[in-house]
Amino acid sequence: MSTFPLRPRDVFEELRRTVVGQDEAIRELSVALVKHLVGHPAPNILLIGNSGSGKTTLMRAVEHFLASRPELRTYYANVVRINANVLAEEHQGYGKAVLGRLYTNARKAMGEGASQEDLLRSVEHGIVFIDEVDKIRAQVSGQPNVRGIVAQEALLTLMENENVEFEIDGERHAVNSSNVLFVAGGAFEELYDAVLRRATIGQDVAPMKPVVVVSASGEVREELPFHLRDYLRYDDLFRYGMTPQFTSRFESIVVLNDLAEGDLARIFVEPEGSIFRASRDYFKRFGIDLQITRGALMAIAWEASQQKRLGARALRETYRRIISAMEFEPANGGVLTIDEQMVKKAKR
């Protein structure tokens, strides 16, 4: 048996370059990924995290990672990412939507000369990301949601099924999908509220008391020490509208962290293609060297952190208010430093 060239930690370190503050989720995914790549059984993973916490970013980071490593081509690295909503719209059948795409991927990666057997083996060991899985809940506001029910059932037949049929280019194929790795993600917004309510009124648990928090920028506020992962149970997911059969196919449920100010500051500057890096590139076109002070960075992160429901998406909006005038009329050359004053002045 040949040795695998990567350890889960290597994958973890690589993914962390783009995904900030979600070490637990990345760790879980890295181990599952390495197991899957070498053909070991790997747990299906359900990622639950507030909007803008990095679920889609993490899935894309994995896709990018697999695509950027040609040495992984001989392993099971065939991956597709599908939006659950799109899946629910798929009238030609889910098999075609998911397995057909894995098949097309495999053909692209292996070339036209690949044997049917190899292509189908690659499909049978595919990696399927299902994003926005919370959109296919079985009921919405107490009413049954037929699209959701149908989509969940269809996914169920895709998971661990020994004989799933799909059609591509007019040819029918049947595969055993029990070795496909599923990673689903969603914000489950009302789930958060429902569990929070349960925790606040102390239903089945001791009621929470607010605690005083001092932020990195020195502001003081009261907060509830609520972390979904401390309170979440399978029952909560059932009540939300994920059927027990579907939910129980995910052996691993990971709740992503809410991003703290420090994480937001790092997201703003560090990852390749970060907001600040992109902005620096823009100003460089006019010969301007864009800089930012530590104070300004923390102030931006603080402001963004106030818009809890947006997660890291709030950074973009906060920054736009500060920079838009200068983007419209950039000076001619020189250094442009964003300082704390500029952030304060741009407040709504």
Ligand X SMILES: Nc1ncnc2c1ncn2[C@@H]1O[C@H](COP(=O)(O)OP(=O)(O)OP(=O)(O)O)[C@@H](O)[C@H]1O
List interacting residues with Mg ion (CB under 5 A): 55-56
CB of residue 253 to ligand X, shortest distance in Å: 16
Contacts of 33 (CB under 8 A, 6+ apart): 8, 11, 42, 62, 127, 181
Residue 293 interacts, among ligand X, Mg ion, none and using kind-specific CB cut-offs from 5 to 8 Å, with none
**What residue 43 binds from Mg ion, ligand X, none (CB within 5 to 8 A, per partner kind)?**
none
CB nearer ligand X, residue 113 or residue 273 = 273
21/148 with CB nearer ligand X: 21
- Tokens 């189908």 correspond to 120
Residue 22 or 78: the one with the smaller Cβ distance to ligand X is 22
Q: How far is the CB of 174 from ligand X (least distance, A)?
A: 34
Shortest Å distance, C-beta 187 to Mg ion: 7
Residue with the two structure tokens 């292509």: 119
Give the residue with the Cβ less far from ligand X, 106 or 264. 264
Between 61 and 342, whose beta carbon lies closer to Mg ion? 61
Question: What is d(CA 211, CA 251) in angstroms, rounded to the nearest whole number?
Answer: 33
Instruction: Burial-class residue 59 by CB neighbours within 10 Å (0-12, 13-18, 19+).
Output: buried
C-beta of 189: minimal distance to ligand X in Å? 8
Angle between helices 23-37 and 8-16 (to 10 degrees): 130
Residue 52, contacted partner among Mg ion, ligand X, none, CB below 5-8 A by kind: ligand X
Q: Which does 30 bind (CB under 5 to 8 A by kind): Mg ion, ligand X, none?
A: none
Q: Which does 307 bind (CB under 5 to 8 A by kind): Mg ion, ligand X, none?
A: none
CA distance 270 to 2: 36
Q: Could you tell which of Mg ion, ligand X, none binds residue 49, using a CB distance below 5 to 8 A set by kind?
A: ligand X
The CA-atom distances, in angstroms, between 233 and each of 12, 156, 245 are: 27, 21, 15
Return the percent helix, strand and coil in the chain, to nearest 5.
50, 15, 35
Residue with the CB atom nearest ligand X in the bound state = 54
Q: Could you tell me the smallest distance in angstroms from the CB atom of residue 142 to ligand X?
A: 23
> CB neighbours (10 Å) of residue 171?
9
Q: Return residues touching ligand X (CB under 6 A).
A: 19-22, 49, 51-57, 187, 267, 271, 311-313
State which residue, 267 or 336, has the beta carbon closest to ligand X: 267
Select the residue whose beta carbon is closest to Mg ion and give its number.
56
Cα 64 to its chain centre, rounded Å, is: 13
The SS3 call for residue 337 is: strand
Q: How far is the CB of 312 from Mg ion (least distance, A)?
A: 11
Largest CA distance in the chain: 65
Residue 22 touches which of Mg ion, ligand X, none (CB < 5 to 8 A by kind)?
ligand X
How far apart are CB 19 and ligand X at their closest, in Å?
Answer: 4
Q: Which is nearer to Mg ion, 56 or 274 (CB)?
A: 56
CA distances from 331 to 229, 283, 288, 335 (A): 49, 9, 8, 9
* Radius of gyration of the chain, Cα coordinates, nearest whole angstrom: 23
